Amino acid sequence: MTAYIPDSAIVIAGMSVEAPGGIDTPEDFYAALAAGADLIGPMPRDRDWDVDQVLALDAIPGWGAVPDAGGFLDGAAEFDPQFFGLSPREAAAMDPQQRVAMRVAWRAVENAGINPASLAGDEVGVFFGASLMEYGPRAASVNEYSGHRIAGTALGAVSGRISHALGLVGPSIVVDTACASSLTAIHQAAAAVRAGECDWAIAGGVCVMASPAAFVEFSRSNALAKDGRCRSYSAGATGTVWGEGAGAVVVETAATARAAGHRIYGVIAGSRVNHNGGGGPIVVPSAQAQRRVVDGALKASGIDAAAVDVIEGHGTATLGDPMELDALAETYGDARGPENPATVGSVKSNAGHAQAAAGVLGLIKVLQCGRNGTLVPSLYADDPTDKIDWGTAGLRLATQTEPWPARDGRRIAAVSSFGVSGTNAHLIVDMPEATRV
């Protein structure tokens, strides 16, 4: 069966990814997830971190243990400055997030079948999610990299470097909504293309930890997993595990994709971003706000909640998981019922919490699963949390690699990201099995 995509639909026509475990292609990413790979490894010893001090934080009264574990990028320090027209000194002064973002943006454009070197002067937008990661000495210090530190540490330069390297003249924006950053960036990119602000856009997110600050903060909050594994939605969850990653997608209208002969991985059928509002502490999630953002994305998509088979959740293995599951049960679960539950999982169980890049990694996981017609397991799902009643919730955890059959020629999934700043993002992606021009 074929599925028609209207010319005005916003589609994903290219993608790229870098993930822990040396993964640098969407195909390798999918293969690792399908195999149920554990991509967590020890903390890097080549970043000038005082690892011994970090691992001893639990000696301070009231602080939690920090496991020697995380989802780290093998190639975070690798970069060819001459390829992007940069001097080695300028490249060294650049936040590694800028370098990795440039790589994945270039590859996403190539994946779409576009020559990145042919784009100078084009009205192409760049929307990237990123957060500050404390790279290098303070810009006010005098050192051999002075003169390059302003651009090298500016958060806006994550997208600016991509636009500059490719010669793009469309909007170039960095989004920081903490852990919701990359999905928020994709939401904004889709809106910009829809509004005609740019012909098409590169969107995604990046996270490379230049300091162990996230481990220190969560040690003080006693929110790190004791065993160094992110057990999303599991009864055995004891906290989260920090990770890194980067991903980019090419966003354009279906008409643009067809005219250029680009493949269509999926349609961004609807997306929404909201905030928890006031009340409790800013870091505490809100099930009510999550229900609102899901309802808003579904309304924007025009898709019935019962048609959504797969939900790539946030799943940080912290106190937010039961709230998230409650929100999903009251939206997707209620629509589908216990006899036909939606499947829930999280890539964080494999690779840790990639923070600003978390949402785009989840999206690429979903796109690859749709492309292969296969559901992949969420690790530790054989021990589901008892904080919800799975028998009535209309949800089930993804426990194994299994077929994902198309329904009426389509596979429909949802992706969630929730930020510690109180921002929530949700995206509905519709993946036609085949398209009719």
- Coil, strand or helix: which one is 252? strand
The pLDDT tens digits of the residues spanning 188-209 come to: 999 999 999 999 999 999 999 9
Which listed residue (148, 179, 187, 230) is catalytic? Answer: 179
Which of 239, 260, 281 finishes a domain?
Answer: 260
Any idea of the CA torsion for 100, 422, 306, 361, to the nearest 10 degrees? 10
* Distance (Å, whole) CA 184 – CA 273: 7
Kindly indicate the confidence band of residue 109, based on its pLDDT and cuts at 50, 70 and 90.
very high
Which listed residue (187, 262, 353, 426) is catalytic? Answer: 353
Lowest mean pLDDT across 19-33, 72-86, 326-340: 72-86
The pLDDT tens digits of the residues spanning 350-385 come to: 999 999 999 999 999 999 999 999 999 999 999 999
Which of 226, 260, 294 finishes a domain?
Answer: 260
Which listed residue (148, 187, 262, 314) is catalytic? Answer: 314
Q: Which comes out higher in pLDDT, residue 146 or 151?
A: 151
Among all chains, which residue has been given the structure tokens 């000194």?
Answer: 89
Mean pLDDT along residues 97-104: 97
* Distance (Å, whole) CA 70 – CA 40: 5
> Does the annotation mark 198 as catalytic?
no
Our count of domains for the chain comes to 2
- For residues 80 and 185, state if they share a domain: yes
- For residues 420 and 372, state if they share a domain: yes
- Coil, strand or helix: which one is 292? helix
Which of 241, 260, 279 finishes a domain?
Answer: 260
Mean pLDDT along residues 14-27: 98
Mean pLDDT along residues 310-324: 97
Mean pLDDT along residues 54-81: 96
Mean pLDDT along residues 110-120: 98
The pLDDT tens digits of the residues spanning 229-269 come to: 999 999 999 999 999 999 999 999 999 999 999 999 999 99
CA distances from 388 to 216, 236, 265, 334, 378 (A): 31, 14, 34, 13, 18
Is the pLDDT confidence value at 144 over 80?
Answer: no
* DSSP letter (8 states) at residue 263: -
> Does the annotation mark 179 as catalytic?
yes
pLDDT at 1: 43
Furthest-apart CA atoms within the chain: distance in Å:
65
pTM, entire model? 0.96
- For residues 284 and 226, state if they share a domain: no
Q: Which comes out higher in pLDDT, residue 314 or 93?
A: 314
* Tokens representing residue 267 in the block: 């349609």
Instruction: Please give the residue range of the domain that contains residue 424.
Output: 269-436
- For residues 96 and 43, state if they share a domain: yes
- For residues 123 and 93, state if they share a domain: yes
